[in-house]
Amino acid sequence: MMGVRGVAVNQKDLAHKLRQAREKLGLSQEEVAQALGVSRESLAQWERGERLPPALHLQRLAWLYGLEEKSLFEGGEVRYRDGLSVLLPEGVSLSAKARLELQRWLEFLDAYAEFLKEEGEPLSPAPQGILRELRPLGGLLTDVRRASSEARKVRERLALGQDVIPDLRVLLDGLGILVYQASLGEGLASRGEQVPEGEGSPATIWGAFYRHPQLGFSVLVNVDSTPGRQVFTLAHELSHALYHSRLPGILCRREALPEEKEVETFANAWAAHFLVPGNALKERVGEWVGDPRKLSAEDALLLAHHFGVSYTLLLYRLLNERLITEDTFRAWSRISPRVLAQVLGLSQEPYHLPAPSFLGELGRFPPSVLRRVRRAVLEGRLSVSEAAGLLDVDSTTLQRKLLASAEEEAESKEALELAKELNFRTPGRRRKALEA
């Protein structure tokens, strides 16, 4: 019979493939239905062959199961997508929500590569610039003893010195690494529970690193984690781009697979040193309290805010640099950073799980993507509907957020207040005569 997109569909065969794909992944009908936003009974009817799924839902099912959509209509076995097979090795179990978001990310990368081709921009999966300069021979470094020196080398190459790292999302985007944000679920660790993953339980995913065959490096960050955790994830994924370019991709989970542990351990160590350099930490401690033995938990929280990292990461760095003892570390780990922040008059927001409102909209994409798409629409090379399809948003959202005029109707209050203070010119200086 004729079905989805005018393609002849063997309804019984399609139902069998959908049911088999779901069962192979160990997903329940309830999980899949919730991820798609449909009733479980609707999904059951599709799997029994009583009804055909609408085109949009069939597309999402293909994303969710990691299948090539065309193979659902063709004879023989279904074909799995390469990107998902790279990120999901045998034995890794994901929730339906996380699996769907991973597929959306991979679908976007493919569509964006096609957009750049049409724009006439060169595509290269090979590392460029600093990513090429600093990658180790063979593209794989796992020696944790080199993490500190390598982090220092990258800081020097980026002219960061011992300073606090700027917005990492913007920094990676400037290096040519596409950062995509997605809601992958909180997971146990994000709620502070120390419960080990059981066999077959959905993995807690912090992010992913993927070497796209046309775009090169892209990373995904789970926004259902605290801001501090997201910063660490970005630094962790940057380490993969710098030192593990030989890998086609890796899903960064709370429990790494045995074959991934060396790579993940190095990335963790490098990220910690990159975000909080040992010399800079010791210098701050010396300036603030003098003797490290006078450090308090309140000082640790202030240091965390200074470096823009989580309280937990800062405690580990203090311990790593032998500025506190293990007993002190354990004692301070039991203290709530939210309470300390309140005591010190600091924002408690960094210690709460965010409730992102942008999901399904434009906040998922890096600045470089939004800039290119906006320019292509404004210059008439891309229609609004084509741009909405590329970014997987509705046309109204696109018009309201991406294509909005950047010019305000009236000057802001700040601009008026600072007009006198900032509207000046530095007087020219005469050159000094060179001494003989």
Is the pLDDT higher at 422 or at 284? 284
Q: In whole angstroms, what is the distance from residue 131 CA to residue 152 CA? A: 15
CB distance 401 to 377 below 8 Å? no
* Residue 65 confidence (pLDDT): 82
Q: In whole angstroms, what is the distance from residue 16 CA to residue 12 CA? A: 6
Burial of 32: CB neighbours in 10 Å, binned 0-12, 13-18, 19+: buried
* Residue 425 confidence (pLDDT): 66
Give yes or no for residue 213 having a pLDDT over 60: yes
Poorest-pLDDT segment among 107-111, 204-208, 330-334: 204-208
Q: In whole angstroms, what is the distance from residue 79 CA to residue 21 CA? A: 10
Give yes or no for residue 320 having a pLDDT over 70: yes
Domain boundaries, the chain: 4-80, 96-188+202-275, 278-351, 362-402
348-375: average pLDDT:
80
Give yes or no for residue 188 having a pLDDT over 70: no
* Residue 348 confidence (pLDDT): 84
pLDDT band at 174 (very low <50, low <70, confident <90, very high): very high
Give yes or no for residue 435 having a pLDDT over 70: no
* Residue 204 confidence (pLDDT): 81
39-67: average pLDDT:
89
Average pLDDT, the chain: 84
Q: How many residues does the chain have?
A: 436
* Residue 138 confidence (pLDDT): 56
Q: Note the pTM of the prediction, 2 decimals.
A: 0.81
Quick: pLDDT tens for 114-168. Answer: 999 999 998 877 777 888 787 775 568 899 999 999 999 999 999 998 888 889 9
Long-range contact set of residues 21-26: C-beta below 8 Å, sequence gap at least 24: 21/61, 21/65, 21/67, 21/78, 22/47, 22/65, 25/65, 25/66, 25/93, 25/94, 25/99, 26/93, 26/200
* Residue 354 confidence (pLDDT): 67
338-362: average pLDDT:
77
Quick: pLDDT tens for 71-113. Answer: 888 878 888 777 888 888 766 778 888 888 998 999 999 999 9
pLDDT band at 201 (very low <50, low <70, confident <90, very high): very low
The DSSP secondary structure of 109-143, one letter per residue, reads HHHHHHHHHHTT-----S--THHHHSPPGGG----
pLDDT band at 194 (very low <50, low <70, confident <90, very high): very low
* Residue 270 confidence (pLDDT): 97
Poorest-pLDDT segment among 120-124, 152-156, 330-334, 368-372: 120-124
Give yes or no for residue 298 having a pLDDT over 90: yes
Give yes or no for residue 189 having a pLDDT over 50: no
Is the pLDDT higher at 314 or at 416? 314
Is the pLDDT higher at 284 or at 421? 284
Give yes or no for residue 195 having a pLDDT over 70: no
Q: Residue 217: beta bridge partners?
A: 211
Give yes or no for residue 353 having a pLDDT over 80: no
Q: Which helix (H) or strand (E) holds 180?
A: strand 178-182
Strand 249-253, strand 178-182: pairing: unpaired
Poorest-pLDDT segment among 39-48, 139-148, 311-320: 139-148
* Residue 133 confidence (pLDDT): 82
CB distance 293 to 241 below 8 Å? no
* Residue 436 confidence (pLDDT): 45
* Residue 378 confidence (pLDDT): 94
Q: Could you tell me which CATH class the domain 4-80 is placed in?
A: mainly alpha
Token pair 């969710």 is found at 64
* Residue 79 confidence (pLDDT): 84
